[in-house]
Structure 1
Amino acid sequence: MKTSNMIRSAEQHGAAGAPLLEKSLLSLLSPGGRRGLSILIYHRVLPRKDPLFPGEVDRAEFSDQMAALASRFNVLPLLDAVRMAKAGTLPPRAAAITFDDGYADNAEVALPVLQQHGLHATFFVATGFLNGGRMWNDSVIELVRAAPDGVLDASALGLGRHPLHTLAERQRAIPALIGQLKYLPMAERLAQVQRLADLAGCALPGDLMMTSAQVRKLHAAGMGIGAHTVNHPILARLPDAQAREEIAQGKLALEDIIGAHVSLFAYPNGKPGEDYLPQHVAMARDLRFEGAVSTSWGASRGKPDPFQLPRFTPWDRGRLRFILRLARNLTNSAQLA
């Protein structure tokens, strides 16, 4: 049966007939050996819905997704999956769960849910934001959230004027500002964000990211800890020596925190050929990681490159749609740098 027909059949049978059809479909697309590893990316798991970002996963949705994943896939620690893929011993319907950046809710909200469902995840942590730091894009989000009603006039900064009278206007202002700042050199971007915060005139939170103790909590619970640089720069925009230093120092800082070897790396932003380049893949190999992950959607074809493993962001909220989105992802070929 063709993949598209199997997907339609699962949709038509609904909840009663879906599990068997879903497993059959996933086994076809994810046969094991070296092929068919699904790696999921999460960033945050909120304790409750955020009106500013209603699409962000909260505790209840995350628990539903983990239940569906556990019942349909063979969920593995990512490091084990990398080693199995190299050896050609992946089981059918292999999957791994990852988190990027190092948000505090990973340890306080996501971890108990993972433990409840008996699942393992790997947490890629940017060490420069631990212990009270904040990623620049979160500074933009939080200053727009907290700014008083009116117009945020950032035209003097070359960033335009942004009305903030309604929730919808705030939702539009956030991507508009982030889009203008994202690919500036890091120092210039941080300076612009600070100027924006001064314009908004509001205090920003200092507890969005994990503490070192929370990183150790994840490690002590048996979760994987992976490197994600120090400052989360776009590696392709840095001189090679600086890029290597970001990768190496992030790895060393995490090893010092958890007292163990860090074997996996996630490229910041992670788009092949745009955010990282072949020389950054070589750096990850040289720094003795065992594998690295991108944000390229799709599946590896043929023998996967363990230093450019594709990952998938699951956005569908319904259980069946969530599983079928994962199945469709396996039909796409991932890009490489």
Structure 2
Amino acid sequence: MIVPAPPSTRTTRASGLLAASGVLGLLERVPAWRGVLVLNYHRIGDPASSFLDHGVFSATPEAFEAHVRHLARRTQVIRLEDLPACLARGRGRRVAVTFDDGYRDNYEHALPVLRRYGVHATFFLTTGFLDGPALAWWDETAWIMRRATVDQVPPLDHLPEGLDLRGPDARERAIETIAETYKRLPAEQAEALMARLRDRARAPEHPGPSPWMSWDMAREIRDAGMGIGGHTVHHPVLANVDDARLASELGGCAERLRDELGVDMRMFAYPVGRPESYDARAVEQLRALGVRIACAFHGGFARPGHTDLLQVPRATVSVDMSLATLRLRAALPQRFATW
């Protein structure tokens, strides 16, 4: 999985100083801005307790509650489906909250907090993950490398130097190397690479439980009034799949959301979501499927007159982001939520 870009050192330092001096509180009272800050979360939990990918943890449960408490008090949290209307309005401190992938901890940790504070969020579901217990490729990569029983993985196609797993940070570097390699490869080659890694690293099978929510959990999220969107069936990098696979990933996702939740896929989030991770084919197929809002994973701040509703920028939230940094982003998103 893509590791969220952390706030710059300058932004982190500035937010801490502004909070300590009281200036941040004043900035939160300056005239509001035009546009919508769309926040992107993935997992809610403690990465230190997991053998899976640490990069997709956005906040601990305690930090997430602090985020939501602040947003409820200081901003207007909107429904993502209301984004077009909000972009057409005047100034306001408007924020939308989104979650990608469909992790179980979204249901266990995020939903109760959202309900408690009356805050709306949209959940983009990878339907194949809810249908079966298999790990996502980024979580499987982390599991295999952290639990490998060998010290070196021999050279493989696309990893000609192999992987040296010796040393205190070697396995973390290997995880990053595999992830970046995977995202560059055509889908079939990427999946073949994972199969060879399973064989060569000799890691034990992941014992469970599944990290994914069930469809019953998704129905409870829907019934709580939260938004539901699509995130493909299997989370491939869409720019790397052929036309037939693209159609099955998008159309199949829409079909499963309709069958299980009775929801038409009007909102969508691109897997990985970098500019190079999807292409015009995906945008046009989503348009043909009736999708009205599609979110990317870059940019941060949706501005009137500058936002393509099928390529909406979002500001990612990472587990190492302080509450002060989140507050600064929400106070001045046009300055601190774009990257």
**For the residues of structure 1 that align with 2:47 and 2:153, how far apart are their CA atoms?**
31
More strand by share: 2
Q: Match for 1:259: what amino acid? A: G
Conservation of the 8 A alpha-carbon contact between 2:239 and 2:278 = yes
Match of 2:316 among 313, 316, 319: 313
CA gap 1:249/1:158 in 2 versus in 1, 3 angstroms: closer
In structure 2, C-alpha distance between the alignment counterparts of 1:194 and 1:185, rounded to whole Å = 15
Structure 2 residue aligned with 1:18: 24
State the alpha-carbon separation in 2 of the partners of residues 334 and 211 from structure 1.
34
> Which residue of structure 2 lines up, in the alignment, with residue 323 of structure 1?
327
User: Does residue 135 of the first structure (1) align with residue 136 of the second (2)?
Assistant: yes
**SS of match in other structure, 1:226:** strand
Contact 1:144 1:173 in 2 (8 A): yes
Q: State yes or no: 1:146 paired with 2:152.
A: no
Deviation at 1:93, TM superposition (A): 0.9
Root mean square deviation of aligned Cα: 2.9
Task: Output one character per residue of 1:103-141: Cα deviation in whole Å (capped at 9) or x when no partner.
Answer: 111111221222222211111111122231221111101
Asked if the contact 1:186/1:233 (under 8 Å) is kept, the reply is yes
Displacement after TM superposition at 1:261 (Å): 2.3
CA distance in 2 between counterparts of 1:301 and 1:146 reads 45
**Alignment deviations for residues 65-87 of structure 1 (CA, whole Å, 9 cap, x no partner):** 222222221111211234433xx
Q: Is 1:232 paired with 2:235?
A: yes
Aligned-residue offset at 1:152 = 3.4
Unaligned runs of 5+ in 1: none
After superposition, the Cα gap between the structure-2 partners of 1:333 and 1:42, relative to the gap in structure 1 and judged at 3 Å, is closer
Shift of 1:10: 9.2
State the partner residue of 2:108: 108
Partner in structure 2 of residue 42 of structure 1: 41
User: Does 1:221 pair with 2:230?
Assistant: no
Question: How many Å apart are 1:178 and its aligned residue?
Answer: 1.5
Cα deviation code 1:25-51 (max 9, x no counterpart): 6x1xx23xxxx1100111111157447
What residue in structure 2 maps to residue 204 of structure 1?
A: 206
1:289, CA displacement in angstroms? 1.5
Higher mean alpha-carbon deviation, 51-60 vs 126-135, is at 51-60
Match of 2:66 among 55, 58, 64: 64
Distance 1:300 1:165 in 2: 44
Residue 93 of structure 1 is matched in structure 2 by 93
Aligned to 2:187: 186
Q: Percent identity?
A: 33
Measured in 1, the distance between the counterparts of 2:311 and 2:193 equals: 32
Conserved? CA contact 2:43–2:56, under 8 Å = no
Q: Partner letter of residue 92 of structure 1? A: G
Among 293, 299, 302, the residue aligned to 2:301: 299
Mapped contact 1:297–1:329 kept (Cα < 8 A): no
State the aligned residue count. 319
* Higher RCO (C-alpha under 8 Å, 6+ residues apart): 2
Instruction: Give distance in 2, aligned partners of 1:282 and 1:142.
Output: 36
Q: Residue type of the partner of 2:30? A: S
Given the superposition, is the C-alpha separation of residues 214 and 194 from structure 1 closer, same or farther in structure 2, using an over 3 Å criterion? Answer: farther
How far apart in 1 are the matches of 2:255 and 2:90? 30
* Post-superposition CA distance 1:113-172 (Å, at most 9, x none): 222222111111111222312211111011122223x51313245534434455522222
Verify the 8 A CA contact 1:314 1:326 in the aligned structure 2: no
Q: CA deviation at 1:257?
A: 0.9
Q: Judging changes above 3 Å, is the alpha-carbon distance between structure 1 residues 161 and 81 closer, same or farther for their aligned structure 2 residues?
A: same
Task: Work out whether residues 40 and 96 of structure 1, in 8 Å CA contact, stay in contact via their aligned partners in 2.
Answer: yes
| Aligned equivalents of 1:282, 1:93: Cα separation in 2 | 31
Q: Return the letter of the residue paired with 1:278.
A: A
Q: Which residue of 1 aligns with 2:7?
A: none
The secondary structure found in structure 2 opposite 1:225 is strand
CA contact (8 A) 1:127 1:231 kept: yes
SS in structure 2 at match of 1:312: strand
Whether the 8 Å CA contact 1:151–1:161 is kept in 2: the answer is no
Secondary structure at the residue paired with 1:19? helix
Contact 2:156-2:162 within 8 A present in 1 as well: no
TM-score, normalised by the number of residues in structure 2: 0.83
**Aligned CA distance change for structure 1 residues 24 and 9 (closer, same or farther; 3 Å):** farther
Partner of 1:117: 117
Asked if 2 retains the 8 angstrom alpha-carbon contact of 1:299 and 1:331, the reply is: no
Moved more, 46-55 or 103-112: 46-55
Amino acid at match of 2:201: A
TM-score (norm 1): 0.83
Structure 2: distance between partners of 1:327 and 1:251: 36
